[in-house]
Structure 1
Amino acid sequence: MTVLPNPGPTRSGLPAIGDWKTFGELREHQADRIAPVLHHARDSPFYEKLLEPGQGLAAAGLTRKSDLRDSYPFGMLAVPRERLATYHESSGSTGNPTPAYFTEAEWTDLADRFVRKTVPVGPEDTLLVRIPYGLVLAGHMAHWAAMRSGATVVPGDCRSLAVPYPRVVRLLRDLEVTLTWSTPSESLLWVAAARAAGHPPASFSALRALYVAGEPISNARRRRIEEIWDAPVIEEYGCTEVGPLAGDCPYGRMHFWADRVLPEVYDPQTGGITAEGTGQLVITPLYREAMPLIRYNLEDLVELRYEDCLCGWQLPTVRVLGRLGQGCTVGGKRLGQLQVEELVFRLPASWGVLFWRARAEPDQLVVEIEVPGPDGGEAAAVLAGSVEAELGVRCAATAVPEGTLVPSALLAQQLDAMKPRKLFGPDEDWGQAVVRG
């Protein structure tokens, strides 16, 4: 049994892994927190109308993302405005945004949860943050948590023109970056960009681990990223409204931070809510101040189990199976992205497949894979055979040249931030309103 060392009291004063010894003790802690959580929730305009004084969690209905959008911007606020430290919004393209706000004390809790890593961040580390900043929580959270742990932070926002892929490769190499925080897909784009720049990933020997989140990852893709970068992939699961919800243990299983957030499983067919099982994830944060949430339905399909693990953390395990409504039907069978991804990354690493795409047609799955070398025909044939044998659907697989699915220009462009300019020399084009800085 491997338990992460308990460093003593957390910065937030909230529980640390090791403070409870059994699932029974964990459940007692959760139960003790519910009454104060429900009481505080009634301080928000939204829950004041929904919760009765003294009401228990069992009588509470679901809170949905639409409730947060309808309460934009501060209908969920349960503390005075002057106590807020930050305001955020989760990504979305329709209607009102989904708001989220945090007090300074909650930021200490966010940092506590972020640094629950089997490869911890410390003063000797340089962390490249390659997650969106802007209004999204994840980039700012990693930045702040790593700084509080003494690390050097490189703010490489992945949606900034100031940090194109050639610059990412240069930063990884020249700064001897030891840790990265990104989506799994980003780490593969770095591979292609590094190769394009003549720097194979094996030359980045300082890298100790890749922290990833933001999208599901199959076991095969995780192994491929670890093999290419010669560093472990440490996965995290969370959301902008609450922050980190789960993370990997030393044995590669994802555990839910159930000492900070109570997880439940909702069955939309029956309307039932259970402590574990398979269904939509429903969460009740146990220490949320600015924006308490009661049985908030994330609409993520998960499998949640309270079961023993060799790590000894005594936290439930969680498998994220996808988002409600995701997946496509082919030949009468429902397919998910992770099922196809698993087979793509089981192809031999020597074939160099990093990028792929698939289209679900009524009677077959059409797949394209980028193959940089001469093995495209064989790779496509093997993949098609695997899909038909393991997923039970017809498959037409094709190999396309390198740079087809991820344009080479994307990996080589040197775009930079655009800065206004008003004064031009006699030989310059003053028809340009901006220039690259």
Structure 2
Amino acid sequence: MTSPTPAFPRQQLEEALQRARAAPLYEGRFPKTESLDRKRWEQLPLTKKDDLRAAYPFGLLAVSPDQLSTYHESSGTSGRPISSYFTEGDWEDILTRFLRNGVRLCRQDMVLIKTPYALVTTAHQMHGAARTVGATIVPADNRSANMPYSRVLRLLHDLPVTVAWCMPTEALLWAHAARKAGQNPAKDFPRLRTFLVAGEPLGAAKRARIEALWGGKRVLIDYGSTETGSLAGECERGHLHLWSDRLYFEVRDSQTGGFHQEGSGTLVVTPLFRKAMPLIRYDMEDTVELSHAPCACGSALPTVRVLGREMGLVNVGARAVSALELEEAIYADAAKTGLWFWRARVREGSLEVEIHADEDSARMRVLQALEAAVPGVRVKVTAVAAERFVPDALLSREVPMQKPRFLFGETEDWKSLDYA
């Protein structure tokens, strides 16, 4: 049964357009209209990532500079970094919608934040949300010299950490590091209750593997970007709900170029209340499936499945494949094979895959699963040691805080110690 088309938020979109006209990038870009409707809205040009790159650093600034609270930049993994900035009011909007997810963060929680305390917004988003509800924060940062995996495990074990905020693959790496250190991730971290993850697509098979390794602890997803903040959060029933009362979402059909309120295509986003950096019809370049079907959690907000980015597709012969598509097949039998890590590359028209797993049967099982998932593609699977993915020394090292030193004892070799 087709879901009813949601109401068109005319007044809020008109106000968003009015704010956007103050930004240099949008000056003269949007014609004024007496009565905005869905048809006229869909005739407005999209804002592309290249537009945001060209607007660096303040071409999208729509308020006076003294109203800004923070300045950020994207990770730059898909090109030149994109600037993003927020007022205090913008941050209040982001944090309140972020806190709606199924984690139900509260004062009794202790949160390990294991994403970069840097120009991207992820750590700052969780930090602000945790402060809002009075939770205790462990500001661990991400992959810095001062936060090796051994220290992460010590913090998770010795402190009453209940929630970890990280990328999905980090949770897998921590479980592997715990096993290498003689710990059982399913039993030796009893106070940890939930992983809240973001930053990469996560399919059902890999999620199930992570949850099993950690003894059934929940893995919930937040979806967003540095440019927008949180766009969707996962409910207790496992569905990712878009914050459609705070942002207007459209799905662009990649075949026809038409726009819809549900179905498959690329996601287009317009924040309804953003002041510092209004975005009008921003093309996220993420392929999604959006639905307005009712959710068992009771929320009326639409749900979304994030399938990855169009630019993330790789051609193998005549077929395009995505990392998420391959990953679902690779982890499908992980409970039996003990699969940990994988990577793949295209070479001479074939797909070469390396895996690390506990069981010798993994190679053949993964090969069969991939041949079924991507028929017509030649696949070669090789089982390799875990060191090919993550060196043992990286998992076990302890690194003291790095500070400049100027005075050394008689037995110390100052030539071997870094100044900076």
TM-score above 0.5: yes
Alignment-derived partner of residue 144 in structure 1: 128
Q: Which stretch has the larger CA shift, 117-126 or 272-281?
A: 272-281
| TM-aligned CA deviation for residue 302 of structure 1 | 1.2
Alignment-derived partner of residue 428 in structure 1: 412
- The residue type equivalent to 1:422 in the other structure is F
* Aligned partner (choices 43, 47, 54) of residue 26 of structure 2: 47
Give the Cα–Cα distance (whole angstroms) in 1 for the partners of residues 369 and 231 of structure 2. Answer: 34
Q: Deviations along 1:256-299, whole A, 9 cap, x unmatched?
A: 11111111122355433222222211110001010000001111
> TM-score, normalization: structure 1?
0.89
Change (3 A) 1:425 1:170: same
Give the Cα–Cα distance (whole angstroms) in 2 for the partners of residues 208 and 23 of structure 1. Answer: 37
| Structure 2 residue 366 is the aligned partner of structure 1 residue 383 | yes
- The residue type equivalent to 2:363 in the other structure is A
Give the Cα–Cα distance (whole angstroms) in 2 for the partners of residues 99 and 244 of structure 1. Answer: 16
Q: Deviations along 1:135-190, whole A, 9 cap, x unmatched?
A: 01011110111111111111111132111100000000000210011110000010
Alignment-derived partner of residue 242 in structure 2: 256
* Aligned partner (choices 253, 258, 271) of residue 272 of structure 1: 258
* Contact 1:387–1:394 (Cα < 8 Å) also in 2: no
Q: Which stretch has the larger CA shift, 363-372 or 107-116?
A: 363-372
Q: Which stretch has the larger CA shift, 353-362 or 76-85?
A: 353-362
Alignment-derived partner of residue 291 in structure 2: 305
Question: Which residues in structure 2 correspond to 1:53-64 (within 5 Å)?
Answer: 53-54=32-33, 56=36, 57-64=41-48
- The residue type equivalent to 1:370 in the other structure is H
| TM-aligned CA deviation for residue 331 of structure 1 | 4.3
Alignment-derived partner of residue 37 in structure 1: 16
| TM-aligned CA deviation for residue 89 of structure 1 | 0.3
| Structure 2 residue 237 is the aligned partner of structure 1 residue 237 | no
Alignment-derived partner of residue 7 in structure 1: none
Give the Cα–Cα distance (whole angstroms) in 2 for the partners of residues 169 and 333 of structure 1. Answer: 41
- The residue type equivalent to 1:260 in the other structure is R
* Contact 2:103–2:196 (Cα < 8 Å) also in 1: no
SS of the aligned residue for 1:77 comes to coil
Change (3 A) 1:95 1:304: closer
| Structure 2 residue 146 is the aligned partner of structure 1 residue 166 | no
* Aligned partner (choices 291, 310, 319) of residue 305 of structure 2: 319
* Contact 2:314–2:322 (Cα < 8 Å) also in 1: yes
- The residue type equivalent to 1:191 in the other structure is A
Give the Cα–Cα distance (whole angstroms) in 1 for the partners of residues 50 and 219 of structure 2. Answer: 34
Q: Deviations along 1:76-122, whole A, 9 cap, x unmatched?
A: 11111111000000011687531000001111111111111212111
* Aligned partner (choices 16, 34, 51) of residue 67 of structure 1: 51
Q: Deviations along 1:42-94, whole A, 9 cap, x unmatched?
A: 11122123123347433320111111111111111111111100000001168
Alignment-derived partner of residue 209 in structure 2: 224
Q: Deviations along 1:380-423, whole A, 9 cap, x unmatched?
A: 11111122233213322121123222221221122344211122
SS of the aligned residue for 1:365 comes to strand
* Contact 2:209–2:334 (Cα < 8 Å) also in 1: no
- The residue type equivalent to 1:424 in the other structure is F
Change (3 A) 1:350 1:211: same
Give the Cα–Cα distance (whole angstroms) in 2 for the partners of residues 54 and 327 of structure 1. Answer: 39
Give the Cα–Cα distance (whole angstroms) in 1 for the partners of residues 208 and 144 of structure 2. Answer: 29
Give the Cα–Cα distance (whole angstroms) in 1 for the partners of residues 79 and 312 of structure 2. Answer: 21
Give the Cα–Cα distance (whole angstroms) in 1 for the partners of residues 254 and 338 of structure 2. Answer: 42
Give the Cα–Cα distance (whole angstroms) in 2 for the partners of residues 420 and 54 of structure 1. Answer: 61
* Aligned partner (choices 159, 173, 180) of residue 175 of structure 1: 159
Change (3 A) 1:53 1:185: same
Aligned length: 410
* Contact 1:418–1:435 (Cα < 8 Å) also in 2: no
Change (3 A) 1:402 1:270: closer
SS of the aligned residue for 1:169 comes to helix
Give the Cα–Cα distance (whole angstroms) in 2 for the partners of residues 390 and 58 of structure 1. Answer: 36
Where structure 1 has 5 or more consecutive residues not aligned to the other structure, the ranges are 1-21
* Contact 1:355–1:406 (Cα < 8 Å) also in 2: no
- The residue type equivalent to 1:192 in the other structure is H
Q: Deviations along 1:172-209, whole A, 9 cap, x unmatched?
A: 00002100111100000100111122211021111111
Alignment-derived partner of residue 7 in structure 2: 27
* Contact 2:326–2:373 (Cα < 8 Å) also in 1: no
- The residue type equivalent to 1:171 in the other structure is L
